[in-house]
């Protein structure tokens, strides 16, 4: 729209029109902004890693705490209802399971317990739907889940706990 | 009106006022976008450095302490202090090796068989808080570690608390 007709000003042909400049600047800006956002996203992953690390330690600790609870009495774990959510309660002197939500430093930690099924002949762990599988009363799956942080991260760790009572 | 335009076009060899205004506006917008992007990038980068330092120090320190707790047979109570009231220290015995974790000059210090091995945390990270909790069960013992680390530089500061627990495997009778 600002281009001066060639027959009127030949000098303008060697330069660029306003529209061309605008398009050029717009494309350059878009590339710059997208590149910067990509870099910021990449760097922000450092924060995600930090939150994930924290969540991972809480989940690992959770499994260790359930292991300790198991050591007090196998029924502490075997008596927990399967497929419902349980929580830990850690005070300065005791570690117990609880029905009340446990929030540590912005992270919620919970766990579920499931039956372990074994092949009746080989004792190998198998799916509950497998033929010949029998529920093992001396073993339980524990699924420890930690959710929280900013950005929100979820960590789930699984372990099989067994009755170690001689 | 017609005369004005035709006269101006013939004599125009530079830019019109509208063109200059548009150029300046575009230039200002692009400069602002560039400056804002640079500021955002530098802030993010600076924050990333502190995040990475804290995360790395936590991994190294907690990994070592929890691994040693799990590998230990007993705790030397006389050379350990639990809770937040006194300076933290944890002395573990595994076979013939005695390992002690304590706090010294804002760093977690590792001592083995009386010989100071060195700090577990790096210089760019400060240990804000470290304490141990001891839980004695029917046949086993559990130690909980609570570690708060911070790192800061000119423009950013990161503080995080990490938790770790270990059952002394050697305490199984």
Q: Which of residues 85-124 of B touch A (CB under 8 A)?
A: none
Count of structural domains within chain A: 1
Nearest Cα neighbor of A3 from A19, A14, A26, A23 is A19
Label each residue of B94-138 as H, E or C: ECCEEEEEEEECCEEEEEECCEEEEECCCCCCEEEEEEEEEEECC
Q: What residues are paired with A69 via a beta bridge?
A: none
Distance CA B170, CA A50 (A): 32
- pLDDT attached to residue A32: 82
* Residue A149 resides in a domain: yes
Nearest Cα neighbor of A46 from B10, B92, B45, B23 is B45
- pLDDT attached to residue B8: 46
Q: Do A95 and B166 touch (CB under 8 A)?
A: no
* Of residues B12, B29, B163, nearest to A61 (C-beta): B163
- pLDDT attached to residue A13: 58
Nearest Cα neighbor of B147 from B104, B112, B105, B103 is B103
Higher model confidence: residue A133 or residue A147? A147
Close Cβ partners of B26 (under 8 Å, ≥ 6 residues apart): A21, A22, A25
* Residue A85 resides in a domain: yes
**Average pLDDT estimate for A153-159:** 94
A165 within 8 A of A125, measured Cβ to Cβ: no
Cis peptide leading into B63, omega within 30 of 0? no
- Pick the range with the lowest mean pLDDT from A142-151, B5-14, B37-46, B163-172: B5-14
Distance CA A81, CA A84 (A): 6
For B107-137, write each residue's pLDDT tens digit: 999 999 999 999 998 888 999 999 999 999 8
Residue span of the structural domain in which A138 resides:
11-162
For A47-101, write each residue's pLDDT tens digit: 788 888 889 999 999 999 999 999 999 999 999 999 799 999 999 889 999 999 9
* Residue A4 resides in a domain: no
Distance CA B12, CA A2 (A): 11
Percent of chain A with pLDDT over 90: 45
| Chain B CB within 8 Å of residue A136 CB | no
Close Cβ partners of A35 (under 8 Å, ≥ 6 residues apart): none
Question: Helices (DSSP H) in A73-160: which residue ranges?
Answer: 75-78
* Residue A2 resides in a domain: no
Higher model confidence: residue B1 or residue A132? A132
No. of H helices and E strands in chain B? 2, 8
| Chain A CB within 8 Å of residue B16 CB | yes
The residue count for chain A: 166
- pLDDT attached to residue B10: 45
pLDDT at B6 over 90: no
To the nearest 10 degrees (0 to 180), the angle between helices A18-72 and B17-71 is 20
* Of residues A90, A105, A164, nearest to B161 (C-beta): A105
> What single DSSP character describes residue A4?
P
**ipTM confidence score:** 0.74
| Alpha-carbon separation of residue A124 from A74, A121, A129, B169 (angstroms) | 21, 8, 14, 25
Q: Do A57 and B162 touch (CB under 8 A)?
A: yes
| Chain A CB within 8 Å of residue B22 CB | yes
A140 within 8 A of A161, measured Cβ to Cβ: yes
* Residue A47 resides in a domain: yes
Higher model confidence: residue A45 or residue A149? A149
Q: What residues are paired with A108 via a beta bridge?
A: A103, A147
Distance CA A68, CA A74 (A): 10
Q: Do B160 and A58 touch (CB under 8 A)?
A: no
| Alpha-carbon separation of residue B7 from A102, B2, B3, B90 (angstroms) | 81, 8, 6, 92
For B57-82, write each residue's pLDDT tens digit: 999 999 999 999 999 999 998 889 99
Interface mutation target, options B137, B141, B153, chain A, most CBs of A under 10 Å: B137
Q: Which token pair is B75? A: 């705790």
- Pick the range with the lowest mean pLDDT from A88-97, A130-139, B12-21, B28-37: B12-21
Task: For chain A, give the mean pLDDT.
Answer: 85
Task: For chain B, give the mean pLDDT.
Answer: 85
């Amino acid at each position: 729209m600002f281009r001066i007709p060639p027959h009127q000003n030949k000098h303008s042909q060697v330069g660029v029109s306003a529209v061309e400049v605008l398009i050029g600047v717009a494309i350059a800006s878009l590339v710059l902004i997208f590149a910067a956002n990509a870099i910021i996203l990449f760097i922000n992953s450092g924060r995600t890693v930090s939150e994930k690390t924290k969540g991972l330690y809480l989940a690992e600790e959770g499994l260790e705490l359930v292991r300790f609870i198991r050591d007090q009495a196998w029924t502490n774990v075997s008596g927990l209802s399967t497929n419902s959510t349980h929580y830990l309660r850690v005070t300065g002197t005791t570690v117990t399971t609880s029905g009340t939500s446990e929030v540590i430093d912005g992270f919620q930690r919970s766990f579920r317990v499931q039956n372990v099924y074994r092949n009746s002949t080989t004792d190998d762990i198998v799916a509950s739907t497998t033929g010949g599988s029998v529920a093992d009363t001396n073993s339980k799956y524990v699924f420890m889940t930690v959710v929280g942080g900013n950005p929100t991260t979820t960590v789930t760790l699984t372990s099989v706990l067994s009755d170690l009572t001689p | 009106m017609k005369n004005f335009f035709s006269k101006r076009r013939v004599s125009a060899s530079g830019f019109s006022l509208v063109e200059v205004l548009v150029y300046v506006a575009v230039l200002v917008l692009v400069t602002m976008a560039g400056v804002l992007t640079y500021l955002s990038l530098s802030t993010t980068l600076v924050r990333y450095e502190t995040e990475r330092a804290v995360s790395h120090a936590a991994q190294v320190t907690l990994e070592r302490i929890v691994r040693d707790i799990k590998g230990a047979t007993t705790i030397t109570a006389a050379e350990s202090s639990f809770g937040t009231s006194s300076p933290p220290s944890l002395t573990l015995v595994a076979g013939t090796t005695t390992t002690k974790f304590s706090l010294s000059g804002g760093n977690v210090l590792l001592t083995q068989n009386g010989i100071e091995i060195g700090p577990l945390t790096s210089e760019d990270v400060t240990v804000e808080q470290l304490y141990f909790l001891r839980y004695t069960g029917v046949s086993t013992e559990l130690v909980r570690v609570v570690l708060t680390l911070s790192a800061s530089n000119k423009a950013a500061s990161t503080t995080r608390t990490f938790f770790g627990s270990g059952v002394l495997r050697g305490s199984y009778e």
